[in-house]
Each structure stands twice: as structure tokens, then as C-alpha cells.
Structure 1
Amino acid sequence: MRPRPQRPSGFARPDTGGPGRHRGGVGISRVYRFLAPSTAISIVYKTLSPPWGINGGKEADPNHIVIDPGTEHEERKGSSYNFLEAGQVLANNTGGGGGWGNPFERDPAKVAKDVRNGFVSIAAAEQDYGVAVDPATFSVDTARTATLR
């Protein structure tokens, strides 16, 4: 299998669900590019406290917006009133859900499927779950996974 192409606005954001034996739900991103000078009012709640994990699960990424993501002017915010120029970008990012249980107890095949579906990155699969996934085939490297775990 080949890696999936970059997803358009409105799809899941990798590594936003809390790691756990049962991974938390992932957040999504809706991205807006302004074509003329504009004002944007962003009302986003629960931006300071990450959704917590339960029974050994880890916390998730909280809600937030990002002005000009991926640039030197990138600014992460909660609720705000923004004056934006033509060409500027605003990304509205919903948070994920906290994980449940020890992430190292998650079935490696499920972690590999999460990587294939774009919910978990290769790096997070190794760091948070102790699972080595081949980026070309999305198969689990069982020997390396045993070492990581």
C-alpha cells in the first residue's frame, strides 16, 4: 500500500486523540483562506485544559485556532477577534478525546491501522504506543515493536 495523500480541510488531524489501549477520538481541522481583508470572530471553548485520559490513558490535544499555520507568523489562540488581510489563513482545530488504558496495551495491528488512516503518525506510534510501523506497507515490525515495548 502507498501512503495516503494529503487530506483536504475538514478531515482528521493526526496525533490529536489521546493515546490509550482505546485511543481517544481525533480532532478535525477546518481551514479558511481569506480573499480580501476581513474580520473573523472565533469562539472556541475548552482551549486551556486538554481532554484528560482515564485509567492510564493520555490526554488529547485541546480545541484551538491557528492564524497563518506553517508560517513564521503562526499564532495559536483560543477565542479571539481577528483582523485578517487577503491571503491569510485561519485554521479552526477541534480537540481530540482522552485515551483509556495503557497505550502500550493497544493491539499493534490497531495502531498500524491508525497510522494508515492518518489518525496516528509513525513517530507517535513508536513513542506513545511502542509500535514500529513500516511507512511503505503500514505493516507492524514485530521484532522492533518487541524491543520498543
Structure 2
Amino acid sequence: ELRSEPAAAGEFRGGIGIVRENTFLTDTAITCEGERHESDVPWGAFGGHDGLNGSLVKNVGRAGEESWPSKVTGRQLLAGDSLQITVPSGGGFGDPHKRDPLKVLEDVLDGFTTAEAAARDYGVVIKEVNGQLTVDLRSTAERREVLVAELSSAT
């Protein structure tokens, strides 16, 4: 499945990592050569927001739950144990306020971001009209003007 967290904002949004869970039918040992679960999130570039790190978690939501580091050698698992592998999500590229508002709406409809994150990160105002989500283009233009002015005065 795809990660449930919103994708990193950017004119070109960040890639969405995946989550998979493997359940082991016999006792086994695992070695993993992942990288940097604890630091150095995938960077955003040219105004894009940072992505999210990956993780390895044994027995998510049940007895014996344990977070593992990104590199493990010979970790023992028993029959019935599971290992959830969450892949990092990529950073966004470019100023999120330049992303086409209709693409942001598509991201909301696809579950890649939320209406709240669309307003906060992209300055895109999404409203429900007759049971359908739609972009309020006038409110979006106004919100983006305010956000850009706030960013300019902060620097």
C-alpha cells in the first residue's frame, strides 16, 4: 500500500513511499541494508518540502513490537512474526505555490494529500459543492498572495 502521510509539497510533489508487511511462516533470520531511518530525511529542493524517512518495525500493533535501525544483520524472527517495511517518500521540487491548483485537487482526490494540507502547503482552497470537491480559484489566488507576501516579509 502507499504511505498514508501527505506527499511532500512542491511545484512537483514528492514521491509517495510504500508500506509492505511480511509475515514469516517459519523461524528465520533477517539482514537489511537500508539507509538513514533516524536522520537525513529526503530533501526537498528549490522550495519543495522534505520527504519522510523509512522504517522497519517488527510486529506492528501487537506484543513484541520493536523498531529496528536501517541496517540489521542476522536479526531473529519466529514463525508468526511480521516485519513492516516503510519506504521513504521523496522530497518535493520547486515552490508549492506554483503547483497547478487542479493538480493539487487531484492529489487530494487520490489521497496523496489532504484539503487542510492543500490550503496550508499549496495555498489551494478546496470546497465541497453539490457533494463534489472543487478548487475555489478566487480564494486560492487570494490565499496564495497572502502566503507569498508572508514568506517575502519573513526573509
Given the two structures, how large is their TM-score scaled by the length of structure 1? Answer: 0.70
- Work out which of the residue numbers 44, 69, 72 in structure 2 matches 1:77: 69
Between Structure 1 and Structure 2, which shows a larger proportion of strand residues? 2
Unaligned runs of 5+ in 2: 145-155
Aligned to 2:148: none
| Matching of residues 35-54 of structure 1 within 5 Å | 35-47=25-37, 48-54=39-45
Letter in 1 for 2:11: R
DSSP 3-state at the match of 2:85: strand
Aligned to 1:5: none
The size of the alignment, in residue pairs, is: 139
| Structure 1 residues 99 and 90: CA distance shift in structure 2, 3 A | same
Unaligned runs of 5+ in 1: 1-10
Mapped to 1, the partners of 2:123 and 2:78 lie a distance apart of: 44
Asked if 1:90 is matched to 2:83, the reply is yes
Aligned to 1:99: 92
Given the two structures, how large is their TM-score scaled by the length of structure 2? Answer: 0.68
Between Structure 1 and Structure 2, which shows a larger proportion of helix residues? 2
DSSP 3-state at the match of 2:31: strand
DSSP 3-state at the match of 1:66: strand
DSSP 3-state at the match of 1:115: helix
Specify the structure having the higher radius of gyration (Cα): 2
What is the root-mean-square deviation of aligned Cα atoms in Å?
3.1
**Pairwise CA distance, 1:101:** 1.7
